[in-house]
Amino acid sequence: MDIQYVDTYELTRAGHEIRGQAPIDQFERLIEDLPDQTDTMVSWTIKGEMDSFGQRFLHVHVVAAPLLECQRCLKPLEWAVDSQNRLQVVNSEAALNVDDGTDADPDDAIERILGSQRLDVLALVEDEIILSLPYVPKHDVCPSLPEPLEEEPESDAVRPSPFAVLDQLKKN
Ligand SMILES: [Zn+2]
């Protein structure tokens, strides 16, 4: 079975679900700026839905474990992606950018994709992973820092010296 392309109209009308997986190194756009990947798999589920108004949706669930570069210690950091998203399938380019009148938080606005009889599943999955990556990835606790960070000489700068305190007392 060809997992690369899917007919969004068929999938949403029938309410079908497709599953697939592929090695992470097939996602070239995702990994081009990332460190060398271990050979983890990316897996996904895409379920079609059509509501009673005839609106079409895809429920996309992607699980992946890309290696990112920690921006603190510059060592690889495995980032667990477990992303669920609901996309509205629209029929025209114009409908992609329609303002649906909810000017609430843009994060709440539903994402739209253009319906297709040959939707590129890997590209869709790849977009979902890319969107879920942190802007500045960091270990919670870095395994090792190249150099211990220099102690800030903050005690001297912040606290007045004992002598300054004595001076102050004498003046009073
Ligand atoms: Zn780190």
Segments making up each domain of the chain, as ranges? 5-149
What's the CA-to-centroid distance between 118 and ligand 1, angstroms? 41
Distance 69 CA to ligand 1 centre (A): 8
Q: Which of 133, 112, 127, 109 is nearest to 8 (CA)?
A: 112
**pLDDT tens per residue across span 1-47:** 456 899 999 999 999 999 999 999 999 999 998 999 999 999 999 99
C-alpha 70 to ligand 1 mean position (Å): 5
CA of 67 relative to ligand 1 center, distance in Å: 12
Can you say whether the dihedral through the CA atoms of 97, 102, 105, 107 is positive or negative? negative
- Of 78, 56, 59, 62, give the one whose Cα is nearest residue 131: 62
pLDDT single digits (tens) 104-144: 566 567 899 999 999 999 999 999 999 999 999 999 999 87
